[in-house]
Amino acid sequence: MRIGMLGTGIVGRTLGSGLIGAGHEVTMGSRSATNPMAMEWMAGHETGAGVGTFEQAAANAEAVINATGGGVTLEALRAAGAANLAGKLLIDVSNPLDFSKGFPPSLTVSNTDSLGEQVQAAFPEARVVKSLNTISCDVMVNPGMLVQPTSLFVCGNDVAAKQETRELLGTLGWAPESVIDLGDITTSRGTEMYLPLWVRLMGALGTPHFNIAIVHQA
């Protein structure tokens, strides 16, 4: 699949490399078509990796992944262009974390709204699926690094887009039964509001390399 990866941070680069390893083509998008982080990332791949502006990355893509920070997500998507997102699967991996008052971060939006909802509202023709925002990027691309299968979530209004996300996650090693469909895009609130617990778990466990497994009744 041709994927436009918006955001050149550790999440975008790690997830982009993981997707290339799974056979996808990934164009890393950023403000500048010659972003040094993106250029260095591209140089680390023999094939499958490209760089461009947010607009170029989205225009060329079959599916777009938003891996920018929550604080710049809407601005980055506006730069990508609504026309370049229309009709496309847009996987929103971002979290509305606010580190401006130090650690632990609070959320810039929560409780009665979410960043996932704001993205869908701002780009009504994009097929937004919130996913992958509940784990660190190392676990995103290597679910087998944990001692047992764990759980991921998909939230979105478009059922087909959630199925496409499930298939894309499958190429990264996430078994279909480990991906739980929580419902429409308003369920993004739950996965984003899980972040304050995730952050404290990272502190208690001393590592970001963990995830939750949903355990059912016997």
Judged by the rule CB under 8 A, the positions of this chain that interact with a copy of itself are: 104, 106-107, 110-112, 144-148, 150-151, 153, 180-183, 186-187, 189-191, 193-194, 196-201, 203-205, 207, 209-218
Q: Which helix (H) or strand (E) holds 30?
A: strand 25-30
Q: Which is nearer to a copy of itself, 137 or 182 (CB)?
A: 182
Q: Tokens standing for 202?
A: 């990272």
Q: Which is nearer to a copy of itself, 23 or 206 (CB)?
A: 206
Query: Cβ 156 to a copy of itself, closest distance in Å?
Result: 13
Burial (0-12, 13-18, 19+ Cβ within 10 Å), 217: exposed
- As a whole number of angstroms, the distance between CA 52 and CA 43 comes to 14
- As a whole number of angstroms, the distance between CA 117 and CA 155 comes to 10
Q: Which is nearer to a copy of itself, 55 or 181 (CB)?
A: 181
At residue 39, what are phi and psi to the nearest 5 degrees?
-65, -45
Query: Cβ 109 to a copy of itself, closest distance in Å?
Result: 10
Query: Cβ 215 to a copy of itself, closest distance in Å?
Result: 5
Q: Which is nearer to a copy of itself, 32 or 207 (CB)?
A: 207
Q: Which is nearer to a copy of itself, 60 or 157 (CB)?
A: 157
Query: Cβ 145 to a copy of itself, closest distance in Å?
Result: 6
Q: How far is CA 78 from CA 15, 54, 81, 113, 123, in A?
A: 22, 9, 5, 20, 9
Query: Cβ 22 to a copy of itself, closest distance in Å?
Result: 20
Q: Which residues, including other chains, have CB under 8 Å from residue 164's CB and lie 6 or more apart?
A: 63, 89
